[in-house]
Amino acid sequence: MNPHVAVIILNYRGWQDTINCVSSLKQLAYPDVQIVVVDNASADESITEIQTAYPDITIIESSENGGYSAGNNLGIRYALNRPDTEYIWLLNNDATVDSMALSTLVEKAKTYPNTLTGSLILYPDGRYQTVGNRVHKLFLRTRNYKSRELKDGQTVETLCGCSMLIPRKVFEAIGLLDETYFLYLEDTDFCIRANHAGFISRVALASKVFHKDGASTGKNKRWGTYYSQRNRLIFARKFASAFHFQLLLLYHLLYRRLRSWTKAFFSNRPDEWQYHRARMLAQTDFLKGVTGKCPHDV
């Protein structure tokens, strides 16, 4: 018997990428799969275009753009309401998959039952991109695994949310994705919470996913700067001890603030001052308790 898998794809003004993603999913060798696209209040022609291209798939319309976690959680809740759903596959809409990608993930998941399973994420030209990250014990920064380190089936600290197969029982044990972040670090957060509950993250290198990377923030890299800075602090407050967190907070508010200003001042480039402003807004918002979507025009 093949366990039923629900594939959750989040779309936000990227219907061309989403259609390409679904097109690759239609070539999967795995037989028992349901494709669920969540549109994150795109306010463009996304829903019409996706429905026209693939009228047989499930499309969920969100009333607002709540970010990566909130959007995916809509799809996850929908899938979990179907009693035969055994696995949920989170897949980025700017990715395409090899025909054996899901079969390999499920095979690995069945071999190691208490496991979250991730794919080998490649750039479209086949170069290695990632499988997930390790977390620096002192600074809580994430660092990508290098390709030469990897072996099929090995455990990793965290998986990349671009392609992650999650058993139903993980959600039943720890809940859904944390919607505090809006964008970035949600997958890392989820894997760590799962690990604390006794689950392991593991990679299936024969499961190949080709990812464009960077589509979530478009051409505005300042969005990425803002969310990366603010969410690092949210992540640290959540997982570090009280003393450790105070040290990290001082590190960010003093050293990283000074380093950011120095880089902007000596570069004499307008965009560096914009990045500096994004970092400062992120730190200030964290101290004010601002979560979710960035309230500023960065």
DSSP states along 22-81: HHHHTT-S-SSEEEEEEE----SSHHHHHHHH-TTSEEEE-SS--HHHHHHHHHHHHHHT
Q: pLDDT at position 297, please?
A: 86
Q: pLDDT at position 298, please?
A: 78
207: Cα within 13 Å, side-chain hemisphere: 29
Q: Which of these three, 177, 211, 245, is where a domain ends? A: 211
CA nearest neighbour of 121 among 199, 55, 209, 17: 209
Q: pLDDT at position 93, please?
A: 97
Residues 34, 155, single domain; the answer is: yes
Residues 151, 234, single domain; the answer is: no
Residue 205 · residue 196 · CB < 8 Å = no
Q: pLDDT at position 114, please?
A: 95
Into how many domains does the chain fold? 2
Dist CA 64 CA 60 (whole Å):
12
Residue 41 · residue 64 · CB < 8 Å = yes
Helices in the chain by DSSP H: which ranges? 15-25, 46-53, 67-80, 101-111, 168-174, 186-196, 221-239, 242-250, 257-267, 270-288
Note whether residue 242 is domain-resident. yes
Residues 181, 64, single domain; the answer is: yes
- Give the range of the structural domain holding residue 144, as residue numbers without chain letter: 4-211
Q: pLDDT at position 268, please?
A: 81
Residues 51, 192, single domain; the answer is: yes
Q: What is the CATH number for 47?
A: 3.90.550.10
Residues 184, 231, single domain; the answer is: no
For the entire predicted model, the pTM comes to 0.94
Residues 177, 237, single domain; the answer is: no
Residues 153, 281, single domain; the answer is: no
pLDDT, one tens digit per residue, over 225-262 is: 999 999 999 999 999 999 999 999 999 999 999 999 99
Residue 162's H or E segment, with its range, is none
